[in-house]
Amino acid sequence: MKKQKNSETIPQASFTRSLGVFDASMIGIGAMIGAGIFVLTGIAAGEAGPSALLAFALNGLVTLLTALCYAELASAYPRSGGGYSYVVKAFPGPTGFAAGWMLWFCYIIACSLYALGFGSYFWEFMHAYFPGLSDWVFSIAGRHLPALAMTTIVSATFIFINMRGTALTGKVENLVTIAKILILAVFILFGLKRMAGIPHAAMANFKPFMPNGFTGVILAMGLTFIAFEGYDLIATVAEEIKDPEKTIPRATLISLSVTVLIYLLVMFVCIGAIQPASGTSWQFLGKYQETAIARAAETFMPAFGVALIIFGGLLSTVSALNATILASSRVAFSMSRDRMLPEMLKTIHETRRTPHIAIGVTGAIVIGISLFFPIQVIGSAASLMFLLTFSMVNLSVIALRRKFPELKPGFRVPLYPVTPIAAMALNILLALFQYRFDPRSWYLALAWIITGLFIYFIHFEKIREAEMPQVLEVGQTAEPDSHGFRILVPLANPDNIIPLMDLAIPIARAHNGEIIALGVIDLPINTPVHEGMRFVHHKTPLLREALKYGNKHGVETRQALRIAHRVWDGIIQAAESEHASLVIMGWKGYTSTRDRILGEVTDKVVRYTPCDLVVVKLMADRPIKKVLFPTAGGPHTRLAAEYLRYYCDIYEYTVDCCYVIKPGADENQRAEALRRIEKITSSTGLDERANTLLIPGKRVASSIAKAAQSYDLVVMGASNEGLFSNALFGEIPERVARYATTQVMIVKQKEGAVKSFVKKVIG
């Protein structure tokens, strides 16, 4: 088929690739070393005691498993949207929408957490070094309103910075991230120095290691999981990263390794270096919660060190806020581009190259949540939502490997499928434990998910289905009852006219039907379809040759023309309006592109054509004499056998009906295989024209493809397979079509119900 033009979509501003390995790594580190470590360290220590250190280590392991999945997916699908883009590719429709809706909310809540953390650290700084000013403000407005005011100010500031451009955002992120790493390094060194001075007391702080048992560890893991969220932001801005197939996996692993090491050292010195007047060090940390690190610094650092840590807390929260606003807006942009959020959110500023509307809307929601929910609920809900969305991403690795086996990503998950399965199970386990800490986080998450699905089913699903393809018919469509059986043959390549007509003629004769040779003139989407009338003469010679060839062989043949913005719209509309019983189309061969299985046009026609379908991988100058017919397909195999019998009646093909058996199969197994062959051939009349053949092999697809080397054509029926199999012809037929070095013909019978897309095509 003719390749769709690159001008298929309306020209518009696009992202600029300005981020390298260092920049991408800084985005991940900046997001992870943020409010999570500064705000949640005290909360985690209060739940788990010294074993919060174990909670951080285990979270690092759990996160690594998911990070490996992200690295593979991002190298295979470097698109904005991160986890949403992968889930919607694996599970389109409501599941994909739910993933994007949840991930958007994850980032929004995380932004709120970081903004609230900034507000707390700002007034902690003011109270420590400008007590007169802070006391005056507190006496007028209380302690809560000033914190919310700073939360709003910092949110608005970084919303503006993100609107200015990705390059500026990246530079700000690099500077802030480097600064806070240096500050935390100073904190760790002072803590280690303090512990070296009191080795026995320091070690005593770690006893008992699990005061609240392993349940406390699990709760702390769930609470602090958001602190390990950040590497996924790298994948979310994939369209702005240079050489994303290599850069994203590298940056993901670098950012996670650096962050986990820093987290463990910070938690270690927090517990070991503190000597409170009463109680234990972990109780001290739990008491001060989001400002625990600053309070810890007071016990073992000089005055300038305390100021440095508070300043580091401010830098960390704004750094994480900056990176997360960047990522959250890209999720909204990607969903809008897929018609799953309002269309205005996909607008990119012409000069700044940022999705400025998506950034503004996201920022407004961030500020709203920051003003109305307490920090504990926000932190718990953020961790919960990330755990749920990461589980869906883990599952997507399995689904996409099964659906697109031809893809060769720049990075592949080790120990597949153990790694994604283990990651998914651990994420779900931690999510369930979140309910024990604060049920409100689950209520908030469920309310958001249910609201999103409700909006999707009553609004966005209808919008997507209502996209009317514009197709112009050239000439008069025949009356429905003029022929009972019609074969539509789309033509684009002159070399395929005769081979496709040779496949259509025997079937048309058998059914006393007619052949409709179809030409589709495709135009850029921003060009009115009637402009295509100027190009009708380009298709006329092609259709005239098919018309002449069909009538020469005694089959009534006529031509049809469609003008469309997309080739598949023209084919699908013609199949419906011409009341076609069968579509026979050529296929240039297996594609290795990320977004397509058989090819852009073929994929759409296979999915949405409202009648029987034959797709043929043709090879020039390859006459057909010997045919291999596997008989263990699905419900479409009988129809394939019927068509093959028509060809034998006219062309006298030599046909071998085959079945793949395991090597070393016994007589009973061989007899059962022969019985299955006979069941198909006898019911279609093919038994009198074909031989039987048993092919030994461990794998069906590869065995058939290997045997096909001795044949001119392989004829197969589509198969219906499991959840993770391709939604077109089935995994086995498509693998044969991919690997066979000969011509392949796949037959698919019309499904019982016409898809809603087709109904929309014909209005």
pLDDT band at 376 (very low <50, low <70, confident <90, very high): low
pLDDT score of 98: 85
Rounded to 5 degrees, φ, ψ at 143 are: -90, -25
Strands (E), 223-299: none
Question: Which carries the bigger pLDDT value, residue 687 or residue 676?
Answer: 676
Burial of 384 (0-12, 13-18, 19+ CB in 10 A): buried
**Does pLDDT of 760 surpass 50?**
no
Mean pLDDT across 588-610: 63
Give pLDDT, residue 87.
Answer: 84
Averaged pLDDT for residues 687-693? 86
Instruction: Report whether the peptide linkage leading into residue 417 is cis, meaning its omega lies within 30 degrees of zero.
Output: yes
Instruction: Please indicate whether residue 431 or residue 423 has the higher confidence score (pLDDT).
Output: 423
Angle in degrees, CA 516, 518, 521, rounded to 5 = 165
Nearest Cα neighbor of 233 from 37, 33, 410, 27 is 27
Of residues 226 and 445, the one with the higher pLDDT is 445
pLDDT per position as a tens digit, 25-75: 877 787 777 656 766 777 788 888 888 889 888 888 888 898 888 888 877
Q: How confident is the model at residue 755 (pLDDT cuts 50, 70, 90)?
A: very low
- pLDDT at position 488 is 95
Structure tokens at 611: 């009648």
CA distance 56 to 47: 13
Q: Which of 198-212, 656-670, 721-735 has the lowest mean pLDDT?
A: 721-735
Q: Is 520 helix (H, G, I), strand (E, B) or coil?
A: strand
Rounded to whole angstroms, the Cα distance separating 416 from 436 reads 32
pLDDT at residue 15 in the model:
45
| Higher-scoring residue by pLDDT: 339, 594 | 339
Q: Place 500 in a pLDDT band, splitting at 50, 70 and 90.
A: very high
pLDDT at position 377 over 60: yes
Is 80 exceeded by the pLDDT of residue 312?
A: no
In this prediction, residue 18 carries a pLDDT of: 54
Q: What is the 3-class SS of 448-516, one letter each residue? A: HHHHHHHHHHHHHHHHHHCCCCCEEEECCCCCCCCCCCEEEEECCCHHHHHHHHHHHHHHHHHCCCEEE
Percent of the chain with pLDDT over 90: 13
pLDDT band with cut points at 50, 70 and 90 for residue 10: very low
Entry pTM: 0.59
Burial per residue of 39-75, b for 16 or more beta-carbon CB atoms within 10 angstroms, e otherwise: bbbbbbbbbbbbbbbbbbbbbbebbbbbbbbbbbbbb
pLDDT in tens, 239-260: 667 777 778 888 888 888 888 8
Among the listed residues 238, 200, 267, 208, the one whose alpha carbon sits nearest the alpha carbon of residue 36: 267
pLDDT value of position 7: 35
Segment 676-703 shows an average pLDDT of 86
The predicted model gives 531-551 an average pLDDT of: 87
Stretch 126-146: mean pLDDT, rounded? 73
What is the C-alpha separation between 435 and 443, in angstroms, rounded?
Answer: 9
Kindly state the percentage of the chain with pLDDT values over 70.
80
User: Is residue 358 scored above 50 in pLDDT?
Assistant: yes
Q: What is the pLDDT of residue 505?
A: 95
Q: 521: alpha, beta or left, given left = phi > 0 and alpha = psi -120 to 50?
A: beta
Mean pLDDT over each residue of the chain, to the nearest integer: 78
**Predicted confidence (pLDDT) at residue 106 exceeds the cutoff of 70:** yes
The predicted-structure confidence for 474-488, as pLDDT tens digits, reads as follows: 765 555 445 589 999
Q: What is the DSSP string of 688-738?
A: TTEEEEEEE-SSHHHHHHHHGGG-SEEEEE-----TTS-SSS-HHHHHHHH
Is 236's pLDDT higher than 70? no
Listed in sequence order, the residues at least 6 apart from 479 whose beta carbon sits closer than 8 Å to its beta carbon are none
For Cα atoms 588, 521, 465, give the angle at the middle one, nearest 5 degrees.
Answer: 85
Domains of the chain: 17-460 (1.20.1740.10), 469-598 (3.40.50.620), 623-741 (3.40.50.620)
Q: How far is CA 712 from CA 335, 459, 627, in A?
A: 46, 50, 6
Owner of token pair 């720049």: 410
The answer, yes or no, to whether residue 139 has pLDDT greater than 70, is yes
pLDDT in the model for residue 12:
44
Beta bridge partners of 613: 583, 748
- C-alpha distances (whole Å) from 505 to each of 494, 499, 571 are 18, 10, 20
Q: Looking at this protein, which amino acid is placed at residue 85? A: S
Q: Output the six-digit token pair for 487.
A: 């074969």
What lies within 8 Å, CB to CB, of 444 at 6+ separation is: 373, 377, 381
Distance (Å, whole) CA 132 – CA 147: 17
The residue behind tokens 């061969």 is 589
Query: Is residue 149 within 8 Å of residue 404, measured between CB atoms?
Result: no
Could you report the per-residue pLDDT of 182-215, keeping only the tens digit for each? Answer: 888 888 898 898 888 888 888 888 888 888 888 8
Predicted local distance difference test score (pLDDT) of residue 72: 86
Select the more confidently predicted residue: 535 or 756.
Answer: 535
Q: What pairing do the DSSP bridges indicate for beta strands 654-661 and 743-748?
A: unpaired
Asked if 325 and 366 count as a contact pair (C-beta separation under 8 A), the reply is: yes
pLDDT digits (tens, 9 = 90+) for 611-659: 899 999 887 667 888 999 998 766 688 889 999 999 988 888 899 999 9
pLDDT on residue 104: 82
